[in-house]
């Protein structure tokens, strides 16, 4: 089975891939999966205007409540009228669908229904063998499932992804069967971002055996995918999607150089946030230092920081007060808040409701993976250093958690505000680099920082600011910092 891996995924890309496959291959049958039901539903929402209910099926577990499925998608689902619950269509009807969409776990429904490539091809071989018992070299049976595409593959555990892979995998040809041509073999495409959150595994024993390492991540550690130099015009096992259609260029500057080898290309056509508290209107990013201590709930199981909550509320009110001057006007629902701790999420929701701002979208980093909003405010919460090691052992917080940080800082489309303890930010190498970016461009507000400004991980996007406008007056010292930063970044990458 041939395979391609792509990272820094784009749902627009995987949806377009599905449509192109169907256009080019009239006999293609695609299994489209994602690790979670919400991610799977999002794929279907993007495809529903291009495919008819007779062409595409949303396969659901029979125990899934109807109200958990977006109403627009119910026409693509099969409902067992006798049982009044989701089910699987009769065999003849199931085989007619060109695209079947389901979560990775629910792909097991196809296995239980004997609708895997292995089973179907064995059935065809047995029937053809009965009809032509004396044939010495029969034409191999064609696989029903021609393509498997898995979105958000970095989020799913390896056993999860193995379920749909098992549906499309085929047997090796037997001694009396002609070898199948490569063009007829099922194609596997994994789409995901290995630099963002991986599988959530709570078992210490499972993590010890690396069950929290996704299949996508493990494949990128293999020579075939790790060696980009091996990619040619005719052999491309891995495709890197570098064009970003979500975020303002300034929001992409730090993550591009910190996580993506300084390769991201801003292609978004978003609106504009006009906010008087932005130090530089060209750079819709701001870091606000807050030194208030956090408090715990239920024996240190989760944390909240009232000082940061006050700052968050002040920022939200200030933004919405000037919302009419934004293009388009900023509404309450256009603001999202991310915090790594549930207690902070609960407290923020409660206070925002009291202020009549219930439409502000508040959630944990995990809640926001794969989502976006015009404005994102990040509340880091952690202030006391003595709890950092416990956070690290439990996989919590935004410090010493590069993947969780990456998710948080790449959700915003037009404005990103980070609120956190400046001392804790300085002690984390990734956040320190983010602070350097803020200090270089005067985007930090808060307590005095004992941090020397340098060119640490400066991106090409940031360096390009120096060349905006031929009449611009540029600080020579800043030019030196930028050049030194670019050279250092290239050396580190090499």
Q: Residue 249 and residue 72: Cα distance in Å, rounded?
A: 34
Write down which residue in 185, 214, 240 finishes a domain.
240
Nearest Cα to 381, choosing from 445, 293, 449, 446? Answer: 293
Residue range 409-438, pLDDT digits in tens: 999 999 999 999 999 999 999 999 999 999
Residues 205 and 261 in one domain: no
Nearest Cα to 354, choosing from 308, 309, 400, 290? Answer: 309
Q: Are 446 and 422 in contact (CB under 8 A)?
A: yes
Residues 299 and 420 in one domain: yes
pLDDT band at 141 (very low <50, low <70, confident <90, very high): confident
Residues 362 and 309 in one domain: yes
- Name the phi and psi angles at 459, rounded to 5: -95, 165
Residues 130 and 117 in one domain: yes
Q: Is the pLDDT of residue 474 over 50?
A: no
Which pLDDT value is given to residue 69? 94
Which pLDDT value is given to residue 394? 82
Nearest Cα to 49, choosing from 70, 76, 22, 68? Answer: 76
Residues 108 and 180 in one domain: yes
Other C-beta atoms within 10 Å of 342: how many?
A: 17
Q: Residue 387 and residue 49: Cα distance in Å, rounded?
A: 49
Which pLDDT value is given to residue 203? 81
Which pLDDT value is given to residue 413? 97
- Residue with token string 């995987």: 14
Which pLDDT value is given to residue 493? 46
Residue range 360-408, pLDDT digits in tens: 999 999 889 888 999 999 999 999 999 999 888 888 899 999 999 999 9
Write down which residue in 240, 268, 287 finishes a domain.
240
Residue range 191-231, pLDDT digits in tens: 999 999 888 887 878 888 888 889 998 998 888 787 765 56
Q: Is the pLDDT of residue 310 over 70?
A: yes
Residue range 77-122, pLDDT digits in tens: 999 999 999 999 999 999 999 999 999 999 999 999 999 999 999 8
Residues 219 and 144 in one domain: yes
The pTM for the full model equals: 0.81
Which pLDDT value is given to residue 234? 60
Query: Which CATH number do you get for residue 102?
Result: 3.40.50.300
Mean pLDDT score of the chain? 88
Which pLDDT value is given to residue 11? 60
Residues 407 and 443 in one domain: yes
Number of domains in the chain: 2
Residues 176 and 280 in one domain: no
Contacts of 77 (CB under 8 A, 6+ apart): 57, 58, 59, 60, 69, 86
Judged by average pLDDT, the poorest of 23-27, 32-36, 131-135, 485-489 is: 485-489
Q: What are the CA-CA distances from residue 248 to residues 170, 221, 332, 343 (Å)?
A: 44, 31, 20, 30
Write down which residue in 194, 222, 240 finishes a domain.
240
Q: Are 288 and 446 in contact (CB under 8 A)?
A: yes
Between 442 and 3, whose confidence is greater? 442
Q: Is the pLDDT of residue 57 over 80?
A: yes
pLDDT band at 175 (very low <50, low <70, confident <90, very high): low
Residues 114 and 36 in one domain: yes
Residues 225 and 257 in one domain: no
- According to DSSP, residue 185 is labeled S
Range of the domain at 437: 243-493
Residues 227 and 249 in one domain: no
Residues 174 and 189 in one domain: yes
């Amino acid at each position: 089975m041939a395979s391609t891996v792509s990272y820094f995924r784009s749902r627009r890309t995987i949806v377009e891939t599905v449509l192109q496959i169907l256009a080019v291959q009239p006999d293609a049958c695609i299994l489209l999966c994602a690790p979670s039901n919400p991610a799977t539903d999002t794929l279907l929402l993007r495809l529903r205007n291009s495919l008819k209910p007779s062409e595409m099926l949303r396969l659901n577990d029979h125990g899934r409540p109807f109200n958990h499925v977006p109403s627009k998608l119910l026409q693509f689902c099969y409902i067992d009228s006798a049982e009044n619950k989701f089910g699987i269509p009769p065999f003849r009807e199931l085989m007619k669908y060109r695209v079947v969409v389901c979560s990775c776990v629910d792909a097991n429904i196809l296995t239980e229904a004997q609708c895997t490539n292995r089973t179907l091809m064995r059935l065809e071989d047995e029937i053809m063998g009965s009809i032509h018992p004396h044939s010495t070299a029969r034409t191999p049976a064609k696989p029903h499932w021609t393509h498997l595409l898995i979105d958000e593959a970095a989020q799913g555990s390896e056993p999860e992804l193995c379920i749909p892979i098992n549906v499309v995998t085929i047997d090796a040809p037997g001694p009396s069967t002609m070898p199948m041509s490569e063009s007829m073999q099922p194609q596997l495409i994994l789409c995901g971002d290995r630099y963002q959150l991986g599988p959530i595994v709570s078992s210490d024993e499972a993590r010890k055996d690396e069950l929290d390492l996704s299949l996508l991540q493990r494949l990128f550690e293999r020579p075939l995918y790790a060696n980009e130099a091996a990619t040619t015009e005719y052999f491309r096992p891995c495709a890197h999607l570098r064009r970003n259609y979500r975020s303002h260029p300034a929001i992409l500057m730090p993550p591009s150089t910190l996580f993506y080898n300084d390769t991201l290309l801003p292609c978004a056509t978003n609106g504009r946030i006009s906010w008087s508290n932005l130090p530089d209107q060209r750079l819709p990013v701001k870091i606000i230092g807050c030194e208030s201590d956090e408090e715990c709930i239920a024996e240190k199981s989760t944390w909240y920081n009232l000082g940061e909550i006050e700052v968050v509320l002040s920022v939200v009110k200030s933004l919405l007060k000037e919302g009419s001057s934004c293009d388009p006007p900023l509404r309450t629902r256009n603001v999202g808040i991310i915090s790594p701790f549930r207690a902070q999420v609960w407290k923020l929701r409660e206070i925002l409701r009291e202020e009549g701002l219930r439409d502000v979208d508040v959630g944990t980093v995990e809640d926001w993976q794969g989502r976006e909003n015009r404005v994102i405010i990040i509340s880091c919460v952690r202030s006391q250093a003595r709890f950092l090691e416990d956070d690290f052992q439990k996989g919590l917080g935004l410090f010493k958690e590069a993947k969780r940080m990456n998710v948080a800082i790449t959700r915003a489309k037009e404005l990103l505000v980070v609120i956190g303890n400046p001392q804790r930010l300085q002690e984390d190498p990734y956040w320190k680099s983010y602070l350097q970016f803020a200090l270089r461009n005067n985007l930090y507000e808060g307590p005095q920082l004992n941090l020397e400004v340098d060119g640490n991980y400066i991106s090409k996007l940031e360096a390009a600011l120096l060349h905006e406008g031929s009449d611009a007056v540029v600080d020579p010292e800043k030019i030196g910092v930028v050049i030194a930063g670019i050279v250092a970044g290239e050396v580190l990458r090499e």
